[in-house]
């Protein structure tokens, strides 16, 4: 009897020890774990558009040639800003939401961004994943996390997570591309108000789900990218779009400061992508580049025709030998080297435009 009792006690000890080890292995790493959720457009899209019916894809060569050595769906020769931020935060590459089999990786975060997408549902409707739909995908992920981790652990993870945004540029570019009359119906102030209003509405919904820490890049100088100069500006910067870009960059900080006042615990960082890119376009050699007017890959003036890879109607295109010498990889998007130059100081907090947090500080804050 004594032996049987002793044996039973040993089995119980082994069982509970095993349970505790399993429990620690499952929950221990999540105690201070910070996930990264990514929203927006082609500056951040890691491959969601590979899985939808659209021409806005980068799943063919030469995209991806520098780092991955194969095309991933990223509009660059290599990694994008969120890829570097994930690396600095000691996270793996954050997978696109539509990539099959990601549900075992949800605790590290998910990328919802879609190339060509805007904050407005009308921007390229039907061929991109607009910001509101991206929000719906995030809400689905939050439900999956609650199922997997339980409510308390999921809420804790969502409140520690960082939510990174790059969106709005397509909303301003698209009406000019199709010669839409929509801009005649609104003043620039009204139209920019619609775009920023949609962005802040999504931020508020994420806040309701538990999100507290947000990072934003401001609008790049769209008027002077190779695409705009070649196809819209007749060889010059396309200045008609500039009032919208300038207003966006003026109003977004005000909206974020308002959210900070209204939403308890709301923290943010706003990163100066406009100044960063303008400096490199105007003074490329100062930052180690040889070419900032023309793209590495494309055709036509400044290689501004969006033909890199020959899969978008125009089959002929030029490809440079060394993308790291260029600021732009294709007619709109930057090279991995340029993205890395932006990501590194953004992580360390130099420079930041607004908000009291660098991205590193956001990840480390409670």
From the candidates 228, 269, 330, 358, which is the catalytic residue?
330
- In the chain, what percentage of residues exceed pLDDT 70? 91
Instruction: Note the pLDDT of residue 32.
Output: 87
Say how far apart CA 198 and CA 211 lie, in whole Å.
Answer: 17
Say how far apart CA 268 and CA 278 lie, in whole Å.
Answer: 23
| 344 three-class SS | helix
Query: pLDDT of 95-123, one tens digit each?
Result: 999 999 998 889 999 999 999 999 999 99
Report yes or no: 48 and 113 within 8 Å, Cβ to Cβ.
yes
* Reported pTM: 0.91
Q: What Å distances lie between residue 279 and 60, 98, 270, 338, CA to CA? A: 30, 35, 18, 12
Q: Can you tell me which residue has the tokens 């003043």? A: 187
* Of 324, 145, 332, the residue nearest 231 (C-alpha): 332
Does residue 333 carry a catalytic annotation? Answer: yes
Does residue 42 carry a catalytic annotation? Answer: yes
Comparing 137-141, 221-225, 356-360, the range with the smallest average pLDDT is 356-360
Higher pLDDT, 29 or 52: 52
From the candidates 41, 333, 346, 358, which is the catalytic residue?
333
Say how far apart CA 306 and CA 231 lie, in whole Å.
Answer: 10
Instruction: Note the pLDDT of residue 5.
Output: 44
Query: pLDDT of 308-362, one tens digit each?
Result: 999 988 999 999 999 999 999 999 999 999 999 999 999 987 656 667 789 999 9
Say how far apart CA 358 and CA 353 lie, in whole Å.
Answer: 10
Say how far apart CA 346 and CA 65 lie, in whole Å.
Answer: 25
Domain 36-221+241-273+343-364 top-level CATH class: alpha beta
Comparing 52-61, 141-150, 178-187, the range with the smallest average pLDDT is 178-187
**Which pair of structure tokens corresponds to residue 77?**
């020769």
Query: How confident is residue 3, by pLDDT bands cut at 50, 70 and 90?
Result: very low
**Model confidence at 198: pLDDT above 70:** yes
Instruction: Note the pLDDT of residue 354.
Output: 66
Taking phi first (over 0 means left), then psi (-120 to 50 degrees means alpha), and beta for anything else, what does residue 23 get?
alpha
Rounded average pLDDT over 11-23 = 35
Instruction: Report the DSSP pairing between strands 162-166 and 36-40.
Output: parallel
Instruction: Note the pLDDT of residue 259.
Output: 97
Domain extent listing, the chain: 36-221+241-273+343-364
Comparing 21-25, 44-48, 147-151, 233-237, the range with the smallest average pLDDT is 21-25
Query: pLDDT of 243-275, one tens digit each?
Result: 999 999 999 999 999 999 999 999 999 999 999
Instruction: Note the pLDDT of residue 2.
Output: 46
Say how far apart CA 326 and CA 331 lie, in whole Å.
Answer: 11
The DSSP annotation for 60-115 comes to: STTTTTTTTSS--S-SSSS--HHHHHHHHTT-PPPPBTTSTT-GGGGGG--B---T
From the candidates 42, 269, 307, 331, which is the catalytic residue?
42
DSSP element (H, E) containing 153: helix 151-160
Rounded average pLDDT over 268-288 = 97
**Model confidence at 1: pLDDT above 90:** no
Rounded average pLDDT over 149-159 = 97
């Amino acid at each position: 009897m004594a032996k049987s009792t002793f044996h039973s006690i040993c089995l119980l000890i082994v069982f509970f020890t095993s349970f505790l080890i399993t429990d620690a292995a499952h929950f221990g790493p999540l105690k201070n774990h910070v996930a990264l959720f990514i929203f927006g457009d082609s500056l951040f899209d890691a491959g969601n558009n590979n899985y939808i019916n659209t021409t806005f894809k980068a799943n063919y060569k030469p995209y991806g040639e520098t780092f991955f050595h194969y095309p991933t769906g990223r509009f660059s020769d290599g990694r994008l800003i969120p890829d570097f931020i994930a690396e600095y935060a000691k996270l793996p590459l954050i997978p696109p939401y539509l990539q099959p089999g990601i549900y075992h990786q949800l605790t590290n975060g998910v990328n919802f961004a879609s190339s060509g997408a805007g904050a407005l549902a009308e921007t390229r409707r039907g061929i991109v994943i607009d910001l509101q739909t991206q929000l719906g995908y995030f809400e689905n992920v939050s439900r999956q996390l609650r199922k997997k981790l339980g409510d308390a652990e999921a809420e804790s993870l969502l409140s520690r997570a960082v939510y990174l945004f790059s969106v709005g540029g397509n909303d301003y570019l698209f009406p000019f591309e199709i010669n839409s009359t929509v801009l005649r119906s609104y003043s620039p102030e009204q139209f920019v108000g619609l775009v920023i209003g949609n962005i802040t509405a999504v931020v508020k919904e994420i806040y309701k789900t538990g999100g507290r820490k947000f990072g934003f890049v401001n609008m790049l100088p769209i008027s002077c990218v190779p695409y705009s100069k070649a196809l819209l500006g007749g060889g010059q910067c396309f200045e008609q779009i500039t009032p919208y870009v300038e207003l966006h960059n003026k109003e977004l900080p005000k909206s974020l400061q308002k959210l900070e006042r209204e939403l308890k615990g709301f923290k943010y960082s706003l990163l100066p992508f406009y100044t960063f890119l303008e400096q490199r376009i105007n003074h490329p050699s100062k930052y180690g580049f040889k070419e900032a007017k023309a793209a590495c890959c494309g055709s036509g003036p400044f290689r501004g025709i969006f033909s890199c890879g020959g899969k978008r109607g125009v089959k002929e295109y030029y490809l440079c030998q060394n993308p790291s010498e260029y600021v732009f990889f294709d007619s709109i998007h930057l090279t991995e080297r340029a993205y890395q130059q932006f990501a590194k100081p953004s992580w360390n907090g130099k420079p930041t435009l607004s908000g009291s947090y660098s991205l590193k500080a956001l990840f480390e804050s409670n």
